[in-house]
Copies of this chain bind each other. A is one copy, B any other.
Amino acid sequence: MTNKSKLSFKDFKEGQIFSFGKIKISYSDIIDYAQKFDPQFFHLDKNLAKESIFGELVASGWHTASVSMRLFVEACGNIDGGMIGKEVKSIKWPRPVYPDDVLSIKCRVKESKICKSKPELALVKMTNTTYNQKGEIVMTADIVMFISSKYSYF
């Protein structure tokens, strides 16, 4: 499934995989995000970060989550009405993201059904896995979202 094509509810079938990459996270990207949203020393200062549990400067996990959202939108967000986040069942960060890491995503549809109470919407459950340039997993997220169901009837 290419990320270029316009998608509809019927494309979000169980087992379907969408993917997108690559986005590079630079040193200054990490600092910029951390200054705004997660000003802890191991995200802000490469010298102080040497004394941290990470041993070097790393991106905030919420920065990784934000970049993963961008990758997710690029992978399968081209759908009328957009993707409406309902909740996240789980986020895990098995390893950090370092300056100049290049991230990509695989998004797998776990379940997809039309809402009984609001049949114009479909509830879609996905597992999104974010990888670094070595193919190592840096984040997994179990996402629940709404998308429009109306195009499923054509």
Contacts and interface: CB of A to CB of B under 8 A. Distances in A.
A89 B87 contact: no
A85 interface: yes
Copies in the complex: 2
A36 to B, nearest CB: 7
16 contacts: A36-B66, A38-B69, A38-B70, A38-B73, A40-B73, A40-B83, A42-B82, A52-B82, A53-B121, A53-B146, A60-B69, A62-B65, A62-B66, A66-B66, A86-B92, A89-B90
A88 B91 contact: yes
A21 interface: no
A93 interface: yes
